[in-house]
């Protein structure tokens, strides 16, 4: 590209960004014109990106029809504010279906952001004038810390609670029976490989049918000798979930009454979901197919 051409393009793009499209459209050379247009698109995209990161506005006004859009948007903001204050009728009574659904989406977003903000504000409690209500995770973590000192690992209880394995059976009992929590349902046990040099982890998703709340508990265990107390007798579904985790990761759940493989045959070798797993060559004379290199 010649200097002249580059200069022309630059100028045209700048003008177009300022709203004057004529200069770009009047470029005679077709190649230069299309190059200029491409540059314009790029410039616009970058501008959009930077504005999106800068401003925390939930919606930016559409550029095409500013007046009608603005009105609608401010209306939506209004009803969302009302709904957040507890008045859902304002949203439900909107007649136009599209506006209504937009308002609902905005409400969900606003709620989520409020939640996020609440979480972040809890991390720095001095700044907030009104003490934010403790999240469920914090309450649970405090209760565990009080009853079973030094079983928490790490202070960060945002999203999940990290525990030491030693007292897990008693903690599980406590969480199930404590009237404040009543985690009567074990939703899911997920085995986890944190990487070749790292430990294994087991993640428990607990849920309470009474209070309708849920937490996630994570327990790490040594990769070489993975052992975690079994909660099979706390939640009966733990029986099969733990057997599955044992089957896939080789994590032994101490106290489980029937620690055998469940999905794979009893005489299978190795733990398939470990990241460094290599399948055995043959199984009873049957060749075990290998995962192809670079298969994606």
CA–CA gap between residue 218 and residue 160 (Å, rounded):
7
Question: To the nearest whole angstrom, how small is the minimum distance from the Cβ of residue 205 to another protein?
Answer: 5
Contact between 65 and another protein per CB under 8 A: no
Q: Helices in the chain by DSSP H: which ranges?
A: 3-17, 22-25, 30-54, 66-84, 89-92, 97-123, 136-147, 168-177, 238-249
In DSSP terms, which residues pair with 249 in a beta bridge? none
Per rule CB under 8 A, count of chain residues that contact another protein:
35
Nearer to another protein, 122 or 239 (CB): 239
Nearer to another protein, 138 or 205 (CB): 205
Residues 6+ apart with CB under 8 A from 202: 189, 190, 191, 192, 218, 219, 221, 228, 245, 251
Contact between 219 and another protein per CB under 8 A: no
Nearer to another protein, 13 or 271 (CB): 271
Nearer to another protein, 58 or 69 (CB): 58
Which tokens sit at 209?
Answer: 């049918």
Going by their DSSP bridges, the two strands 227-229 and 185-193 should be labelled as unpaired
Please, which of residues 88-147 interact with another protein by CB under 8 A?
97-98, 101, 105
Contact between 203 and another protein per CB under 8 A: yes
Contact between 262 and another protein per CB under 8 A: yes
Question: To the nearest whole angstrom, how small is the minimum distance from the Cβ of residue 19 to another protein?
Answer: 27
**Cβ(125)–Cβ(132) below 8 Å:** yes
Nearer to another protein, 114 or 188 (CB): 188
Category of 185 on φ-ψ map: left (φ > 0), alpha (ψ -120 to 50) or beta: beta
Residues of the shown chain interacting with another protein in the complex, contacts defined by CB under 8 A: 97-98, 101, 105, 184-188, 190-193, 203, 205, 209, 212, 216, 235-237, 239-241, 248, 261-265, 272-273, 291, 295-296
């Amino acid at each position: 590209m010649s200097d002249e051409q580059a200069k022309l393009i630059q100028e045209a793009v700048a003008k177009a960004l300022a709203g004057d499209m004529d200069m770009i459209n009047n470029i005679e050379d077709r190649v230069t014109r299309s190059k200029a247009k491409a540059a314009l698109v790029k410039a616009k995209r970058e501008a959009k990106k930077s504005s999106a990161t800068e401003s925390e506005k939930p919606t930016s006004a559409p550029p095409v029809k500013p007046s009608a859009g603005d009105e609608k948007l401010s209306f939506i903001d209004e009803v969302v504010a009302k709904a957040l204050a507890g008045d859902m009728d304002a949203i439900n009574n909107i007649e136009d279906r599209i506006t209504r659904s937009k308002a609902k989406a905005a409400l969900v977003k606003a709620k989520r952001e409020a939640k996020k903000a609440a979480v972040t504000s809890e991390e720095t409690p001095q700044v907030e004038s009104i003490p934010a209500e403790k999240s469920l995770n914090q309450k649970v973590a405090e209760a565990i810390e009080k009853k079973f000192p030094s079983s928490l690992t790490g202070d960060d209880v945002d999203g999940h609670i990290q525990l030491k394995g030693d007292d897990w059976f008693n903690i599980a009992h406590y969480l199930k029976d404590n009237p404040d929590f009543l985690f009567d349902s074990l939703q899911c046990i997920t085995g986890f490989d944190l990487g070749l040099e790292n430990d294994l982890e087991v993640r428990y998703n607990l849920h309470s049918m009474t209070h309708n709340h849920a937490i996630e508990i994570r327990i790490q265990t040594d990769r070489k000798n993975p052992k975690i107390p079994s909660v099979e007798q706390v939640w009966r579904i733990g029986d099969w979930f733990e057997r599955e985790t044992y089957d896939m990761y080789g994590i032994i759940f101490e106290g489980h009454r029937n620690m055998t493989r469940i999905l794979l045959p009893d005489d299978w070798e190795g733990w398939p979901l470990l990241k460094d797993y290599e399948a055995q060559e043959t199984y009873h004379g049957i060749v075990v197919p290998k995962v192809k290199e670079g298969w994606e």
